[in-house]
Structure 1
Amino acid sequence: MTGTEIPREAAGRAPSGPLSPLRPRTPGAARTTPSRPDGVGPVVDCGVYVDGRRQEPVDHHEALHQAVAQGGFVWLGLYAPTEAELGTIAEHYGLHPLAVEDAVYAHQRPKLERYDDGLFMVFTTATYVEHDRLTATSEVVDTGEIMVFLGAHYVITVRHGEHGGLTDLRRSLEGQPELLTLGPAAVLYAVADQVVDAFVDVASAVEEDVDELEASVFSDRRTDDIGRLYQLKRELMSLRRAVSPLEVPLQKLAERQVDVVPDAMRSYFRDVDDHAIRVREQVAGLDELLTSILQASLARTSQADNEDMRKISAWAGIIAVPTAIAGIYGMNFRFMPELDWRYGYPLVLGLIAVVCLLLYRGFKRNGWL
């Protein structure tokens, strides 16, 4: 093969294209493709990098030819491509159809898969949704996805979701040519680093919501925070699902020898893995704290209910005294104590008042009132 030839698919590899024959569709199990705004094309940016420097603008159809000819690599950025759009690109770059299908329909767990001489990695991205006050229906964590196809002369990033753009990341990397000289793996590292850094920011913002709920639960005011606690716990679960599965792929990139990842990149991925572990521990700690706060809220609610029942029972006991006496004298028997006595009526009223006062003092002393 000459230096200007593009590597083709290895013998026996399933053909690439819009439809994959290797994964039959299940009847009734329709899968939706994430959409993008009208008038926005799938190609966000395309650049060829040689010795860490971006070359002159080139059409994405010719980028791979130029990258192979000059010994560099092409970085093609896509945003929510359709099956047909990515299928055409996949045929040109020799991408595996199973990975292409995952990239089109999204909704994948973070993972790292190896297909022949290339890698396919899935990241779940996350961003914090600002809100004035946390409610029982507040959206706190919004998630998206970034898929990365990695080969010897190309890196293709596919983004789904309203956040997680890579434009600023591309500009930052272009200012670090010494890192880009390490090849497409440098882009994979940069994407992983940005995703994990976003997790750190989201976890810190969620921690402030947890602190606000904790203060509310243990305040002197009687508040009903169970709905808000449950909602935040559910939102935190989304972040946990994005962070936890990422550790294994990062460990593989940091510890195992991979053809398209230079040994010099392992320390970079090890650093990202350390950050991911810290975020996972932080998220797990927040989840445990929320569980404890939820239990405390339920205990305070139960305690408040018990206090209300004691007060109701105490007042019912006090009211029972005049009710019982009035009931006795209301039976209309002819011969009853003190009916004909001049001071009988005031005496009964005084007796009722004294007994009620004694009961009130007793309940008050015992904390029932």
Structure 2
Amino acid sequence: MPLIRSLRSAARRVQRRPRRVDLSHPARSPLGSAVVNCVVYRDGVRQLGDCTPDEAVRKIRRSGGFVWMGLYEPTQEEFAGITELFGLHPLAVEDSVHAHQRPKVERYDGTLFTVLKTVAYVTHERLTTTSEIVSTGEIMVFTGPDFVITVRHGGHSSLGPMREELEGRPDHLALGPMAVLHAIVDHVVDQYLDVTDSVQDDVDAVEIEVFSPTGTRGTDAGRIYQLKRELLELKRAVSPLVRPLQLLVERAYEPVDPEIRRYFRDVGDHLSKANEQINAFDELLNSILQANIAQVTVAQNEDMRKITAWAAIIAVPTLISGIYGMNFDHMPELHWLYGYPIVVAVMVTACLLIHRGFRRNGWL
């Protein structure tokens, strides 16, 4: 398992930018507008051919195994028959239909209802004040003794590749529906790690721009705020899942097999790593924002000092010329032969002395 996960993570790093897949297309939903597929598994092996939900329930109740049904953005009417067939709780069904739920794990009688936030990194050439960096969706999972129902919202995070990979491990799939739940959670958490790696590139780019000695003075603070907003979107998907995943490991939910708990513990470690990275990015962006504000303040102070210095220099000839511009009959030096050049020389000398003083103090 670690080898497979490492190879999968390496492949995702090479192809980091997720490709949007529209599963609402009829060709991807042969069983209806919402049901993407409905497959029966027995002893970890996929039984040939898709079937309707009614047929799947009859098969597993007669011969054992479990059914895995995938739905894409179903309506309340489309979910009505499935709710009655599998005995799902109305509150959980309402949450799965309307989406926009907080990540959580809840138990309704013998069924676990899990809400997961999916994330995808949105490619962009350059970070702007309106750049979308993180795109989110949702996956709801109903896990019962003999069924798994996944409800997906959003245009990314297709479960098809994950299902194919899981079907290549029949020994793990034979552990039952909770093994499917683990695979889905593991898939989503791996996406968290991939997205945090991509977001780190944006954080590093902003950090370099702010602190580079050759960079532009005063990076636009709006871009940093935008990055913080997108990071908050990622944090809302990751952080709330930490506690529910701990409950799955700490025997709070009895249907979880002890063997599966070990796998959930490994996923919990990865989730903690992603959560710690996001918190570190948030703290770093706070420091970058404060440094940027400090740079802008220093630059403004420097500009004000230059303006003040030049104003002081110009004040000397202004003062002298203003005095000699007064209309008095009896003023000294008005009738001297060298009065005018002497006054000009005095003004130039005073300006040069003041300029030299400001240069020495670093104001110019």
User: Normalised by the size of structure 2, how large is the TM-score?
Assistant: 0.90
Q: Does 1:47 align with 2:5?
A: no
Residue in structure 1 matching 2:352, options 351, 357, 361: 357
Give SS of 1:325's match. Answer: helix
The residue type paired with residue 361 of structure 2 is N
Match for residue 19 of structure 2? none
- Shift, 1:37, TM fit: 4.8
Offset of 1:127 from its aligned partner? 0.7
Aligned partner of 1:227 among 222, 226, 229: 222
2:334 to 325, 333, 339: 339
Encode CA deviations 1:279-305: one digit per residue, 9 max, x unaligned.
111000000000000000011111111
Determine whether 1:296 maps to 2:288: no
* Cα shift at 1:99: 0.1
| Selected match of 2:115 from 118, 122, 132 | 122
* Equivalent runs, 1:181-330 vs 2, <5 Å: 181-220=174-213, 221-256=216-251, 258-330=253-325
Structure 2 Cα separation of the partners of residues 37 and 138 of structure 1: 26
Residue 257 of structure 1: how far off its partner (Å) = 5.2
Q: Aligned match of 2:64 in 60, 71, 87?
A: 71
Deviation of residue 219 (structure 1)? Answer: 2.6
1:263 deviation in Å? 1.3
Query: In terms of mean alpha carbon deviation, does 175-184 or 40-49 score higher?
Result: 40-49
Q: Structure 2: how far apart are the matches of 1:314 and 1:122?
A: 63
* Range with greater deviation from structure 2 (61-70 or 299-308): 61-70
Whether the 8 Å CA contact 1:82–1:104 is kept in 2: the answer is yes
Residues 196 and 276, structure 1, Cα contact 8 Å, conserved in 2: yes
User: Which of the numbers 163, 174, 193 marks the counterpart of 2:167?
Assistant: 174
Residues 24 and 72, structure 2, Cα contact 8 Å, conserved in 1: no
Give 1:258 shift.
Answer: 3.0
C-alpha contact 2:305 2:363 (8 A) present in aligned 1: yes
- Unaligned 5+ segments in structure 2 are 1-21
> Displaced runs of 4+ in structure 1, greater than 6 A?
none
Q: Is the 8 A contact 2:117 2:138 kept in 1?
A: yes
Give the Å deviation of 1:86: 1.1
Q: Distance in 2 between matches of 1:228 and 1:325?
A: 50
Cα offset, 1:210, TM superposition: 0.6
Q: Is the 8 A contact 1:53 1:177 kept in 2?
A: yes
Distance 1:101 1:46, change over 3 A: same
Consecutive unaligned residues in structure 1, runs of 5 or more: 1-34
SS at match of 1:339: coil
Question: What's the RMSD between the two structures over aligned residues?
Answer: 1.3
Amino acid at match of 1:336: M
Structure 2 residue 151 is the aligned partner of structure 1 residue 158: yes
CA contact (8 A) 1:173 1:180 kept: yes
Distance 2:280 2:83 in 1: 42
**Of 123, 138, 146, the match for 1:145:** 138
How many residue pairs match? The answer is 335
Q: Is the 8 A contact 1:155 1:187 kept in 2?
A: yes
Identical columns (%): 58
Tell me: CA distance 1:55–1:359, structure 2 relative to 1, closer, same or farther (3 Å).
Answer: same
CA–CA separation in structure 2 for the residues paired with 1:70 and 1:285: 51
Secondary structure of 1:62's match? helix
Cα separation, 1, equivalents of 2:297 and 2:165: 55
Name the aligned partner's letter for residue 312 of structure 2.
G
| SS of 1:142 mapped into structure 2 | strand
Alpha-carbon distance, 1:160 to partner? 0.2
What is the aligned counterpart of 1:133 among 117, 123, 126?
126
1:59 shift after superposition: 2.2
More helix, by proportion: 2
Shift of 1:36: 7.7
Q: Is the 8 A contact 2:189 2:271 kept in 1?
A: yes
TM-aligned CA deviation for residue 333 of structure 1: 1.1
Contact 1:36–1:80 at 8 Å: present in 2 too? no
Specify the alignment match of 1:92 in structure 2. 85
How many Å separate the matches in 2 of 1:367 and 1:160? 61
